[in-house]
Amino acid sequence: MSKKDIVLISPPARLEVYQGLSGELAAIEPPVWAGLIGGFLRDKSVSVAIVDSEACGYNHQQAAEAVASYEPKLVVFVVYGQQPSASTQCMPAAAKTCNFLKEISDVPTMVMGTHSSALPARTLQQEPYDYVCQGEGPYTVLDLYKFVKGEIKISEVSGLWYMDKGLTVSNPIKDKIVDLDKELPNQALDLLDMTKYRAHNWHCFDDLSSRGSYASLQTSLGCPYKCSFCCINAPFGGAGIRYWSPENVLSQIDELVNKYGVKNIKIPDEMFVLNKNHVIAICDGIIDRGYKLNIWAYARVDTVKDIYLEKLKKAGFNWLGIGIESGSKFVRDGVEKGRFDLPEITSIVEKIRDHGIYVAANYIFGLPDDTEESMQETLDLAIKLNTEWANFYSAMAYPGSPLFEHAVKNNIPTPDMKDGPGWIGYSQHSYECMPLPTDTLQYKDVLDFRDKAFTDYFTNENYLKMINEKFGSDVVAHLEEMTSHDLPRKHRN
């Protein structure tokens, strides 16, 4: 291995996070944020490598050895993931890898991500890293490297938390990057092996054999909404959204298609279908190029407009992820997700599907006002809507979310409390999973309901009939294999 100034590492967490689903069923996500920072650093004449442990199939020790082989001056653990929760649930794997690295190298280490931005002091005090980044991070990484080289004082490293003579010290956070096109123009895809990534199974129901042609592309940062269960804005200091220009996004799509042969693209923006000019310009650019893509992106029930749908479908947006969350308006109101009622939800889902776009609906069980009856309302709604895919989550007080602040203030049990399972308990699919209790339900009740709801939905006769008609018997067989996996849960053993 040639020496590098900085190594960015995405730690290996899939087995702990997904258990038996960590094999062929789970996606292998490109580390988008590591890719963006890698490109940023190279533009500043810093040599950089990315160790993507998941894509390479490394365990914690192998990942540490791969990092050390570059003999870097600085190692940055970039702990993000497929969704906001993935940062917290990946922290145990990152810590294990860092501990292995410290056994074989004295290179300084820093951690960054949603979790560390939400809990910087606690991360510094309890985790094995030398430094913690609070904020979005590119300039923190660059300035820390300059400090390591002796070019600036540590007090000049923006957004940095560190120990000084036994005391916890923090530096002011640098203002958010305004011009994304200029400062973070693209991911350093050449630092990754793009053949190793794999799309979500449902993303490729039209062609399960194509899952290996996959990439993830950010077109905005942050979210303007303030849902109480979400921690997406922890690195960004609050609600808000910034965009890459449509021209920049299209140039990145050109690279994915023409250089790497990518067909399946995920837009991980928390809210893609929002800004009319942004969405339409990107769609028109893809349509003009004649690319045959299979794209999925997130939308809200109250942001989906007729003007978007025809363009989206023509551009290859075959899937939209919709956050329905609960079948009870009272429960949705309690988490600032109640601007629409059931007739509107049903109408929007039907409208999306009428345009030939598949729906991946998201539901949450165990929100603060949930009862057994309201959770059943949510499952009944999911079965009634019968969307092509559904994600069933248990409510979690993710660090950085208002629910976390509420839980701490009211001493509500969370996985990180004394005698709890720790950060891995925030993983929806982990053995130690520990969602929030409600006023009427223990966390075990919520988790049991969630697991049963998953099975009930994906084995439902009407669902499998619809899937067979749209995608064929191979996808039905794939789903039957998927539901044959029983997720072990600690509280049931």
Is the same domain home to 295 and 438?
yes
When pLDDT is cut at 50, 70 and 90, the band that residue 333 belongs to is low
pLDDT at residue 117 greater than cutoff 70: yes
Is there a domain that residue 178 lies in?
no
Q: How many domains does the chain have?
A: 2
Same domain? For 211 and 162 the reply is: no
Strand partners, 294: 264
Residue at a domain's end among 170, 189, 223 = 170
Domain membership of residue 185 (yes or no) is no
Residues 47 and 89 in one domain: yes
The pLDDT-based confidence of 464 (bands split at 50, 70, 90) is very high
Q: Is a pLDDT exceeding 90 seen at residue 267?
A: yes
Residue 93: pLDDT over 80: yes
In a domain, 184, yes or no: no
Kindly tell me if the per-residue pLDDT of 81 is higher than 80.
Answer: no
Are 135 and 245 part of one and the same domain? no
411 inside domain: yes
Instruction: Classify strands 294-299 and 317-325 as parallel, antiparallel or unpaired.
Output: parallel
**Between the ranges 270-279, 313-322, 410-419, where is the mean pLDDT highest?**
313-322
- Give me the pLDDT at residue 390, please: 97
pLDDT for position 183: 96
Would the pLDDT of 155 be above 80?
Answer: yes
Q: What is the CATH number of the domain that holds 253?
A: 3.80.30.20
pLDDT score at 86:
74
Does residue 175 form part of some domain?
A: no
- pLDDT tens-digit map of 366-420: 998 899 999 999 999 999 999 999 999 999 999 999 899 999 999 999 999 988 9
Q: Is 324 in the same domain as 214?
A: yes
Alpha-helical (H) ranges within 259-365 are: 276-289, 306-315, 329-334, 342-354
Amino acid at 284: D
In percent, the amount of the chain with pLDDT more than 70 equals 96
Residue 90 covered by a domain: yes
Q: Are 163 and 303 in the same domain?
A: no
Whether 216 and 334 share a structural domain: yes
How much is the pLDDT for 226?
77
Q: Which of 111, 85, 112, 87 is closest to 98 using CA atoms?
A: 111
**Band of the pLDDT at 125, cuts 50, 70, 90?**
very high
What's the pTM value of the predicted model, to 2 decimals? 0.94
Q: Which residues contact 131 (CB under 8 A, 6 or more apart)?
A: 108, 109, 110, 111, 124, 144, 160, 161, 162
Query: Based on the domain organization, do 110 and 224 belong to the same domain?
Result: no
- Give per-residue pLDDT as tens, 209-260: 999 999 999 999 988 877 787 887 788 877 889 999 999 999 999 999 999 9
Compute CA distances 355 → 65, 87, 128, 137, 310, whole Å: 50, 35, 51, 40, 7
Q: Do residue 208 and residue 121 come from a single domain?
A: no
Q: How confident is the model at residue 437 (pLDDT cuts 50, 70, 90)?
A: very high
Q: Which of 442, 456, 451 is nearest to 488 (CA)?
A: 451
Give the mean pLDDT of the chain: 92
Task: Give the DSSP letter string of 227-244.
Answer: -TT--TTGGGTSSEEEE-
Mark whether 478 and 343 lie in a shared domain: yes
Q: What CATH number does the domain containing 47 carry?
A: 3.40.50.2300
Strands (DSSP E) along 337-488, which ranges?
A: 358-365, 389-394
Same structural domain, 166 and 230: no
SS3 of 96-120: the string is HHHHHHHHHCCCCEEEEEHHHHHCH
- Residues spanned by the domain of 318: 199-492
Residues 292 and 357 both lie in one domain: yes
Q: Give domain status of residue 42, yes or no.
A: yes
Structure tokens, 403: 């629910």
- From the CB of residue 423, how many other CB atoms can be counted at a distance below 10 Å? 25
In-domain check, residue 177: no
Q: With beta carbons less than 8 A apart as the criterion, state whether 119 and 134 touch.
A: no
